[in-house]
Structure 1
Amino acid sequence: MNTIAENIADFLKEYPPFDNLTFQELSAIATSIRVLNLEKNETLFQINDKLHDCFYVVASGVIHLSVIADAEETLLNKCHAGDILGLRPFFAKNNYMMTAKAREESIIYAIPIVTFRPFVANNPDVLNFLLESFATNTWNPKEKENLRGKLANDNVFYIDQKSEMQYFQSLTYNRLPLTATINDIAKDVALRMTENSSTSVVICDNQLPIGIVTHTDMCSKIATGQFPLTVTMKAIMSAPVVTVVENVSLAEAQLLMLKNNVTHLCVTSDGTDKSTVKGVISEHDLIIAQANNPGVLIKEIKRSSNAKDLKHLRERLTELIQNSIHKNIPLSNINNIASEINSAILKRAVELSILDLGSPPARFAWLSIGSQGRKEQLLLTDQDSLLIFEDVMPDKYRDVRDYFLKLGKKATAILEKVGYELCPNGHMASNMLWCKSLTDWTKQYDSWMNTPGENSNDLSSIFFDLELVFGEKKIFEAIENVILKDLDHNTLFFDFLGNDALRKNSPLTFFKKFVLEEDEPNKDKFDIKTRALMPLIDGARLFALHFNIKGLNNTYQRFKQLAIIDAKNSDIYLNCAEAFLTLSKFRVSEGLKNENSGQYINLSELTKLDKEKLKNALAPMKELEELIKSNFKLTQFS
């Protein structure tokens, strides 16, 4: 092997994903690598250029990656030695979506895809490294610190996120695919493809898929004159066809296309070629799915400039939730992602308000309380928030508070336009009661927790489900510490909270019938929020505070953690956790169907099986109630 190739192999083995390959493999790759010398400001590729037949590694120098957005160039990333860029030709067929330009004199290694592809297909670690980057739009998935060897993929969007997102990224594809037999004539099939705007036709024998003919096949084999128009499908089809199950994820589909070097996958009943055809997934479908990736949504939220943009993005979140539920993704996973996207929307509303008002006169923290504070806001329910600003000199207090009240009003107005209704109880940062200094909030929590009976009118237990949306973490932690201090040996507070948790009306009558609403507009409907979900939410919070569980607000996760901490009652907690997910799913399905908060369920629309499921999910509440009664002295507020 020549010395140049040896030097290249030596260099590459220091960086991922090449460090997963043997030196022999690297040497084989190195002999086909082209070395490019770029002058300062020379372009490697730019937006809308046709894709190259290679991807690139920076050997020395610095390459800037940028996009044009709103008529101005935005720098997305700087690539240094060992960084990979230009991965788009691996995973997509559309043109480059960004520009790569040398910031200084640079040496670049151009690695032909044709040479590298076999090493990718045979090495899961290398494949996963490249695929995770493309499918989740992350930096180097192995190195969250972005130290060295980071990936700069050619999607315009970047976001630190869980790579699991791609595994339940929903995929929309053609569920009415064209089919033909091996004896059908190319001319007839081409006409049918044109009439149906289809890029492929599945070739079947006895309704089972045996091959596929794509638009590319037609162009390369018929249009070039290699075969006549009268040729049968048997001569030009690709066989066997790569088959997948119906609920395949975006990541799995990309993986299969890459491994098999194909542009279409055939969806069948059981995922094999021994069952009937249900659809076809094309490369184009994967590119469309990329645009609905949660990471992409968050990136777009960060760039949005008004409430209208945010409203549109919130609607896309609803679609994502709907698709995920349709695919039976666990609700706890859907909650994680929805809460990240909701948080990004809330944060952007605060940012846009600051851009409008000018810089804040003091440091502050904007907190979500209630369902978003618990990471449980899958539907467009009302907004609950509070604002804490740092202590300032007495002569500045009024001006500072006025600024933050204005900020609260602007941000809540934006969120109302997005679709989050104003809280009917006024629990919002725009309300003078819930927008005050750290000292005032400390007094408020001290008062609530040490003398709960005297202040019970404005004490809502949702004030103990807090999530920092924007601002200073230290201010947020200061309030957490106040709560922690006031919990210590505070039997009176637990007496109050315990009674509050038990105050919700029972969901079933003595004869095990659902208790329905008696008044309009929800007459004869079941209030799943108040009668079923709230007792579980309140119970989980009560025990989480009692056992001093920090940093976990989500009801499902609280119950799971309680099962570990209080092992003798673990069965009760685990039953409650499952019940909470089942009930939440009922509520979300109802809300999505009727485009409302899903609070009231029309039982007459449920199947007998669903009614039974709903009733069974209410059973653990009785056990939880008994556990509360036996654990806390519920005397003063009973």
Structure 2
Amino acid sequence: MKNSIAERVQDFISGYPPFNLLSTKYLKQISSEITIMYLEKGDTIFKKDEPSHDYFYVVRDGAINLYYDNGNVNEFMNINDAGDAFGLQPLMVKAPYTLTATANEESIVYAIPIAVFQSVTENNAKIQKYLITSFASNTYAPYTAEQAGQIFVDYLPNTSQDIVNFQSANYTKNPITCDITSSLKDAAKKMSSHKIGCIIVVDGDKKPVGIITDSDIKHKIATGEFPIETSVNNIMNAPVTTGRKNLTVADGQLKMIKNNIGHLCITKDGTVNSKVVGVLSHHDILVTLGNNPTVILKEIKRCKRTKKLRAARLRAKGLLRSYIEQNIPISHIINVISEINDATTVRAIELAIKKMPTPPPVAFSWLALGSQGRQEQLLFTDQDNALIFEDVPEAKYAETQAYFLELSRLVTSTLNKVGFEYCEADMMASNPEWCKSITNWKTQFKNWILKPDEKAILLSSIFFDYNSVYGNPDLVDQLTDTIYKTLKETNLFFKFLGSDAVKSPSPLGFFRQFLVEQNGEQKELFNIKSRAIMPLVDAARLLVLSKQIKGVNNTSKRFEKLAELEPENKELHESCSYAFKALSKFKTKQGLLHNNPGKFIDLEILTKEEKLKLRRCFKPIHEIQEVLKIRFDLKNFL
């Protein structure tokens, strides 16, 4: 007789990793042994410090929250949705749980027997790699394989050797230490004055010989076991567990769990035989794991209040900083932050719709413009957006537009509270000029193209870089088709765009000196956005429009596509793509350093190497501008 419940379980788990890597035979074997758990909101599956279970778990319906319970506050770590596996620790090591798992809502969870699972997967290298990666990075991606490959590449290594390199641990450098001859009283005073929870005990050569934590003082001194004047070597934990300077999150987390400790000493060579250079805490690990794309995206999608949405988006800033410090490829950083920005906008729209008295009267599409439209917005900048709604009878137009203007006002207000400033030029969907029907939008773009002037070109630099973030994509497709059809009717528009693209000359002066601002608050600062980044953005836009290239909005990807289509200019286009990414990284570093959009750079704080690298980015700017002058015959037009 068939086990219909087991068959339903098998059908479900076969669609999710790591079960989708198993044969039908093994899936059937596992499915027949699972236990089904029915949970009410708030029910706990396991708690921090609880002995590990004989099962790991998969969410069937509902959602499971993971928290780190530090005794006072539950620090949120992740939300597990349908298909997500969690509680994987017992598969790696038999040690108490480090997190608490509770039901976020009414949920159904499958408990998978570890013994059964391991018996059918012990020789499957792909599954072992997935489990180690998921456990170490706390990543359970709710995306397709294609999306995951684009967004989470540094969380999904290609070989088991790559696992040790996929994410660097962010440890505290130059830790506070005390000599082995010190008294505990002196060590405790040091800890208090520096407001730290542990101190490393070192010998005369600065090699770590022990570690003392707040917990040690509480359990060994406050209880009267030792007097406060005792020597540190009487209560320190020894020998210490050490790690190397390029320690990964995976390695650090596994070492802490195996040794049941909360701190690792980082030394020059990774052993106790070299000088201590840092300390990695369990909290450092949790912060790193919490700041990963999947956790942030899931949190954004579940936010019900603007305050929570802002907090989630701000965590992306920490992720951005970590990526920049770890020298993750900028193209990957752009992919991740763009995904987070779009998810933030989508959630803002969903929350706004809930606040409206009625659902949208007709289909609509929300467009991100400018840098977000090009999917290259890394730092908080001002908003540029627009809204297209479906055509309605003329008698209904004013009423329909009024609805979407109010909706847009709610959305832009939420985005402002999240951290995206209002556009000073009011190029937002809450402006009636940029919130209209598809027919009116088609007319608008036709006028810009067929009757170009300075204002039209200024607006084109923003509105021709758009990305549909939410709503009916057919409306955007219609608009795109109209734009490219109209572009075939004229060459004058390209001349205007070309003239605008070459108006900012090379950022270097006659004597190869950087052209800096001459007056105002930004005097002596270099405007990396207007003098270096925007000339490349403008050139890429013009070239893809002239070649009728649809669906490629990102500047570096535009140049990469042009390199593919123009083999004779392949080297130049690839140089432009590289220069754009390098300049974007410079700008982002400055923005993070000064907590601003990073538009202006103080050249005096750059190293000689950084200045040389910046200069190298300027050569392709000059060369691509010369190509534009020739290709669009701008000599007599400027």
TM-score (norm: length of structure 1): 0.76
- Which residue number corresponds to residue 450 of structure 1? 450
CA distance, structure 2, for counterparts of residue 583 and residue 371 of structure 1: 14
The aligned runs of 1:386-405 (5 Å cut-off) are 386-405=386-405
- Is the contact made by 2:66 and 2:99 (CA closer than 8 Å) also made in structure 1? no
The aligned runs of 1:258-277 (5 Å cut-off) are 265-269=264-268, 275-277=274-276
- Is the contact made by 1:36 and 1:109 (CA closer than 8 Å) also made in structure 2? yes
CA distance, structure 2, for counterparts of residue 100 and residue 591 of structure 1: 37
Residue 581 and residue 161 in structure 1: after superposition, are their counterparts in 2 closer, same or farther (change >3 A)?
closer
Say yes or no: does 1:581 pair with 2:581. Answer: yes
CA distance, structure 1, for counterparts of residue 150 and residue 614 of structure 2: 37
- Which residue number corresponds to residue 102 of structure 2? 98
- Which residue number corresponds to residue 334 of structure 2? 335
Quote how far apart the aligned CAs of 1:517 are.
2.3
Quote how far apart the aligned CAs of 1:439 are.
0.8
Quote how far apart the aligned CAs of 1:385 are.
0.8
Quote how far apart the aligned CAs of 1:333 are.
2.2
Equivalent residue of 1:443, what SS? helix
Equivalent residue of 1:97, what SS? strand
- Which residue number corresponds to residue 127 of structure 1? 128
- Is the contact made by 1:63 and 1:101 (CA closer than 8 Å) also made in structure 2? no
Point out the more displaced range, 492-501 or 508-517: 508-517
CA distance, structure 2, for counterparts of residue 141 and residue 252 of structure 1: 25
CA distance, structure 2, for counterparts of residue 568 and residue 287 of structure 1: 50
CA distance, structure 1, for counterparts of residue 269 and residue 610 of structure 2: 27
- Is the contact made by 2:184 and 2:231 (CA closer than 8 Å) also made in structure 1? yes
The residue type paired with residue 417 of structure 1 is: K
The residue type paired with residue 321 of structure 1 is: L
Residue 86 and residue 549 in structure 1: after superposition, are their counterparts in 2 closer, same or farther (change >3 A)?
same
The residue type paired with residue 333 of structure 2 is: I
Residue 49 and residue 488 in structure 1: after superposition, are their counterparts in 2 closer, same or farther (change >3 A)?
same
- Is the contact made by 1:349 and 1:411 (CA closer than 8 Å) also made in structure 2? yes
- Is the contact made by 2:243 and 2:252 (CA closer than 8 Å) also made in structure 1? no
Which residue of the other structure, out of 143, 152, 155, is the alignment partner of 1:162?
Answer: 152
Equivalent residue of 1:553, what SS? coil
The aligned runs of 1:349-428 (5 Å cut-off) are 349-358=348-357, 359-428=359-428
The aligned runs of 1:412-491 (5 Å cut-off) are 412-453=412-453, 456=456, 459-488=459-488, 490-491=490-491
Report sequence identity in percent: 37
Residue 485 and residue 433 in structure 1: after superposition, are their counterparts in 2 closer, same or farther (change >3 A)?
same
Point out the more displaced range, 371-380 or 609-618: 609-618
CA distance, structure 1, for counterparts of residue 515 and residue 543 of structure 2: 27
- Is the contact made by 1:560 and 1:577 (CA closer than 8 Å) also made in structure 2? yes
Residue 45 and residue 611 in structure 1: after superposition, are their counterparts in 2 closer, same or farther (change >3 A)?
closer
CA distance, structure 2, for counterparts of residue 628 and residue 593 of structure 1: 35
Equivalent residue of 1:127, what SS? helix
Residue 118 and residue 324 in structure 1: after superposition, are their counterparts in 2 closer, same or farther (change >3 A)?
farther
Residue 127 and residue 76 in structure 1: after superposition, are their counterparts in 2 closer, same or farther (change >3 A)?
closer
Point out the more displaced range, 530-539 or 95-104: 95-104
Point out the more displaced range, 230-239 or 502-511: 230-239
Residue 203 and residue 171 in structure 1: after superposition, are their counterparts in 2 closer, same or farther (change >3 A)?
same
Quote how far apart the aligned CAs of 1:373 are.
1.0
Point out the more displaced range, 276-285 or 95-104: 95-104
CA distance, structure 1, for counterparts of residue 149 and residue 44 of structure 2: 23
Q: What's the CA shift string for 1:329-364, capped at 9, x where partnerless?
A: 222222222212222222222222222223211111
Gaps of 5+ in 1: 1-6, 147-157, 223-228
- Which residue number corresponds to residue 171 of structure 2? 173
Point out the more displaced range, 45-54 or 259-268: 259-268
Residue 530 and residue 103 in structure 1: after superposition, are their counterparts in 2 closer, same or farther (change >3 A)?
closer
Residue 142 and residue 622 in structure 1: after superposition, are their counterparts in 2 closer, same or farther (change >3 A)?
closer
Equivalent residue of 1:368, what SS? strand
- Is the contact made by 1:495 and 1:635 (CA closer than 8 Å) also made in structure 2? no
Quote how far apart the aligned CAs of 1:390 are.
0.9
CA distance, structure 2, for counterparts of residue 159 and residue 560 of structure 1: 19
The residue type paired with residue 451 of structure 2 is: T
Residue 234 and residue 585 in structure 1: after superposition, are their counterparts in 2 closer, same or farther (change >3 A)?
same
Quote how far apart the aligned CAs of 1:438 are.
0.6
Equivalent residue of 2:459, what SS? coil
- Which residue number corresponds to residue 290 of structure 1? 289
Q: What's the CA shift string for 1:476-516, capped at 9, x where partnerless?
A: 22222222323337422222211111122442322322223
- Is the contact made by 1:449 and 1:493 (CA closer than 8 Å) also made in structure 2? yes
Gaps of 5+ in 2: 1-5, 68-77, 157-164, 222-229
Residue 101 and residue 169 in structure 1: after superposition, are their counterparts in 2 closer, same or farther (change >3 A)?
same
The residue type paired with residue 488 of structure 2 is: D
The residue type paired with residue 633 of structure 1 is: D
- Is the contact made by 2:572 and 2:624 (CA closer than 8 Å) also made in structure 1? yes
Point out the more displaced range, 605-614 or 327-336: 605-614
CA distance, structure 2, for counterparts of residue 334 and residue 559 of structure 1: 18
CA distance, structure 2, for counterparts of residue 141 and residue 160 of structure 1: 13
The residue type paired with residue 94 of structure 1 is: T
CA distance, structure 1, for counterparts of residue 454 and residue 184 of structure 2: 85
Equivalent residue of 1:510, what SS? coil
TM-score (norm: length of structure 2): 0.76
- Which residue number corresponds to residue 227 of structure 2? none
Quote how far apart the aligned CAs of 1:296 are.
2.0
Q: What's the CA shift string for 1:291-346, capped at 9, x where partnerless?
A: 22232222222333444333333433333322322232222222222212222222
- Which residue number corresponds to residue 348 of structure 1? 347
- Is the contact made by 2:264 and 2:280 (CA closer than 8 Å) also made in structure 1? yes
Aligned residues: 594
- Is the contact made by 1:179 and 1:204 (CA closer than 8 Å) also made in structure 2? no
Point out the more displaced range, 458-467 or 392-401: 458-467
Which residue of the other structure, out of 105, 109, 114, is the alignment partner of 1:111?
Answer: 114
CA distance, structure 2, for counterparts of residue 22 and residue 479 of structure 1: 47
- Is the contact made by 2:505 and 2:622 (CA closer than 8 Å) also made in structure 1? no
- Is the contact made by 2:243 and 2:264 (CA closer than 8 Å) also made in structure 1? yes
Equivalent residue of 1:633, what SS? coil
Point out the more displaced range, 399-408 or 410-419: 410-419
- After superposition, the CA RMSD in angstroms is 5.1
